């Protein structure tokens, strides 16, 4: 076991997270410097970091990164950055410097980022500066969660459940009550609603009439016309998509949907627990294109089990040819609570070169077809400690995706699994307002969910 002694034990969490990029939990320990034994007793796997009073966290992290790189031979491209939102420090620097070149230089020096990641952050920052305007804190976004799916994917740890019609109806009854109640709170001191996002789970698990009722409840409660704002519904799983459902959404003014294949390889779809084929995905796109949605988003995952780079490349090529205007490329994350984690918790530490080849291809291919990277985020236990990147055609970005990663806007989240945020601009601070994730517990503790809305959004 490697032991790292530091004078900055208060930031142990940050050093632990950086170590986990290189090593498993049983291979390292971060220890306060005052616990240091006599130098003569230090073994060859013990190291002292920041051995002076007042050593800054970023300095110690750079020192730790270099030592870990020396010990393992690895040099992760995100350097010392371990958080979910790598764009956030980049934009903070850009606000001060007003120069992309200076931003890149400071990111390289402070966080040891690779040229590839510096280029990515520069491209995203440039896109957002050009196409995203206004003060996000002047507006709010609304999220509603539908925590149901036809089956559970191997990699999934979200609040998604397989449920019968009676359970879904009971859940919707409570969700509609929460929507109405939250709308009444919102109308006391209304801010402009910038975006509405219905996610899950898979919202199109609902039937057409349930979808109509959901959209109408939200529209009435918050006094919005879906055709006049960014309003997204995750259609997600193609085995839940029918022409009747999509016609219902379009007729109510919904302009954006997601169709998320994750892969176009039939063997992979079976392996990860999907109950549909690649042809079902093509059929769903055909229906959506015929109906005429403004934007169709598609999600793909790099690093799925038993997929070669060519499999991922073929999936991406087909998403482009099917006409997706917004494509999110995820790097597989082996999340706690997923079936994949239960069967192979260290899966994400292998085949890094394979995943890197997939991501490099996606960046070059999407650029060649007129896509811009416009937001990014990272997750724990992600293969190669890489990232997820949202790409879009010009002005086809999702403002909701951007805002949720900025942490500069309040988000009112409704339903099981919804995690809202309230933003305090004077303090530049976010406070999370989470509903419980299980839909049955959500119903049992429903009054508590309303009380949380009272506390944070009641004025």
3-state secondary structure 240-262: HCCHHHHHHHHHCCCCEEEECCE
Do both 26 and 160 map to the same domain? Answer: no
Could you give the 3-state DSSP secondary structure of residue 368? helix
Residue 57 lies in a domain: yes
d(CA 425, CA 176): 30
Total domains in the fold of the chain: 3
DSSP secondary structure, 11-74, as one string: GHHHHHHHHHHHS-GGGEEEEEGGG---GGG--TTEEEES-STT--HHHHHHHHHHHHHHHHS-
Q: Dig out the tokens for 396 from the structure.
A: 């086809």
> Measured between alpha carbons, how far apart are the two ends of the chain, in Å?
52
What pLDDT is recorded for position 237? 86
Task: Report CA-CA distances (Å) from 95 to 88, 129, 412, 415.
Answer: 11, 10, 27, 36
Are the CB atoms for 33 and 51 separated by under 8 Å? yes
Cis, bond preceding 201 (omega within 30 deg of 0): yes
What pLDDT is recorded for position 459? 61
Do both 163 and 288 map to the same domain? Answer: yes
Q: CATH number of the domain that 347 lies in?
A: 3.80.30.20
Q: What are phi and psi of 44, to 5 degrees?
A: -75, 0
Mean pLDDT of the chain: 92
Are the CB atoms for 347 and 306 separated by under 8 Å? no
Q: What are phi and psi of 40, to 5 degrees?
A: -70, -20
Residue 14 lies in a domain: yes
Could you give the 3-state DSSP secondary structure of residue 458? coil
Task: Report CA-CA distances (Å) from 73 to 18, 185, 353.
Answer: 15, 55, 14
Residue 81 lies in a domain: no
Residue given tokens 């530490």 in the structure block: 349
What pLDDT is recorded for position 256? 97
What pLDDT is recorded for position 233? 97
Residue 119 lies in a domain: yes
Residue 426 lies in a domain: no
Q: Hey, how many other C-beta atoms are within 10 angstroms of the C-beta on 107?
A: 22
Do both 184 and 66 map to the same domain? Answer: no
Confidence of residue 53 (pLDDT cuts 50, 70, 90): low
Do both 102 and 239 map to the same domain? Answer: no
Average pLDDT of the residues in 87-110: 94
Range of the domain at 58: 2-72
What pLDDT is recorded for position 272? 86
Do both 262 and 125 map to the same domain? Answer: no
Are the CB atoms for 132 and 406 separated by under 8 Å? no
Do both 121 and 237 map to the same domain? Answer: no
Confidence of residue 336 (pLDDT cuts 50, 70, 90): low
The pTM is what?
A: 0.93
Task: Give the up-direction half-sphere exposure of residue 186: CA atoms within 13 A in the CB hemisphere.
Answer: 26
What pLDDT is recorded for position 154? 60
What pLDDT is recorded for position 390? 98
Residue 449 lies in a domain: no
On the question of pLDDT at 136 being above 90, the answer is yes
What pLDDT is recorded for position 43? 77
Sheet holding 46-49, edge to edge: 28-32, 2-6, 46-49
| Nearest Cα residue to 400 out of 392, 388, 409, 391 | 409
Confidence of residue 34 (pLDDT cuts 50, 70, 90): confident
Q: What is the CA radius of gyration of the chain?
A: 23
Q: Dig out the tokens for 66 from the structure.
A: 């270099």
Alpha helices (H) in 369-445, listed in sequence order = 399-406, 439-444
Average pLDDT of the residues in 74-99: 94
Do both 368 and 264 map to the same domain? Answer: yes
Do both 127 and 140 map to the same domain? Answer: no
Do both 175 and 279 map to the same domain? Answer: yes
Least confident of 28-42, 188-202, 305-319: 28-42
d(CA 423, CA 407): 7
Residue given tokens 């490349």 in the structure block: 313
d(CA 266, CA 259): 16
Do both 127 and 217 map to the same domain? Answer: no
Residue 219 lies in a domain: yes
Confidence of residue 341 (pLDDT cuts 50, 70, 90): low
Distance of CA 337 to the CA centre of its chain: 17
Do both 199 and 222 map to the same domain? Answer: yes
The better pLDDT of the pair 200, 256 is held by 256
Residue 82 lies in a domain: no
Do both 144 and 124 map to the same domain? Answer: no
d(CA 176, CA 110): 48
Query: What are 145's strand-pairing partners?
Result: 199
């Amino acid at each position: 076991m490697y032991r790292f002694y530091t004078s900055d034990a208060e930031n142990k969490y940050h050093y632990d997270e950086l170590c986990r990029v290189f090593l498993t939990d049983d291979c390292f320990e971060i220890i306060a410097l005052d616990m240091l034994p006599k130098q003569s007793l230090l073994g060859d796997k013990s190291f002292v970091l920041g051995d002076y009073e007042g050593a800054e966290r970023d300095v110690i992290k750079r020192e730790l990164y270099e030592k870990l790189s020396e010990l393992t031979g690895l040099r992760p491209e995100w350097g010392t950055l371990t958080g979910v939102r790598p764009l956030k420090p980049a934009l903070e620097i850009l606000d001060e410097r007003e120069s992309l070149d200076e931003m890149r230089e400071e990111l390289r020096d402070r966080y040891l980022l690779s040229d590839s990641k510096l280029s990515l952050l520069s491209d995203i920052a440039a896109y957002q500066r050009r196409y995203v305007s206004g003060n996000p804190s002047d507006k709010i976004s609304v999220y509603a969660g539908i925590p149901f799916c036809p089956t559970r994917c191997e990699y999934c740890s979200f609040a998604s459940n397989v449920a019968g019609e009676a359970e879904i109806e009971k859940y919707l009854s409570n969700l509609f009550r929460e929507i109405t109640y939250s709308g009444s709170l919102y109308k006391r001191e209304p801010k402009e609603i910038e975006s509405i996002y219905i996610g899950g789970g898979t919202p199109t698990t609902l039937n057409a009439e349930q979808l109509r009722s959901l959209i109408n409840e939200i529209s009435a409660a918050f006094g919005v016309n879906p055709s006049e704002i960014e309003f997204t519904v995750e259609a997600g799983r193609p085995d839940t998509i029918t022409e009747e459902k999509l016609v219902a959404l379009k007729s109510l003014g919904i302009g954006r949907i997601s169709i998320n294949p994750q892969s176009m390889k039939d063997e992979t779809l079976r392996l990860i627990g999907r109950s549909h084929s690649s042809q079902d995905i093509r059929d769903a796109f055909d229906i959506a294109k015929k109906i005429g949605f403004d934007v169709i988003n598609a999600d793909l995952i790099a690093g799925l089990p038993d997929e070669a780079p060519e499999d991922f490349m073929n999936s991406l090529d087909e998403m482009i040819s099917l006409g997706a205007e917004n494509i999110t490329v995820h790097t597989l994350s082996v999340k706690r609570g997923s079936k994949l984690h239960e069967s192979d918790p260290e899966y994400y530490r292998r085949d890094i070169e394979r995943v890197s080849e997939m991501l490099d291809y996606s960046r070059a291919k999407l650029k060649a077809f007129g896509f811009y990277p416009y937001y990014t985020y990272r997750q724990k236990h992600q293969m190669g400690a890489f990232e997820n990147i949202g790409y879009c055609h010009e002005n086809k970005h999702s403002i909701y995706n951007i805002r949720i990663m900025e942490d500069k806007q309040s988000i009112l989240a409704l339903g099981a699994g919804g995690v809202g945020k309230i933003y305090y601009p004077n303090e530049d601070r976010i406070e999370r307002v989470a509903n419980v994730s299980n839909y049955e517990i959500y119903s049992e503790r429903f009054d508590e969910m309303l009380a949380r809305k009272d506390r944070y959004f009641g004025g």
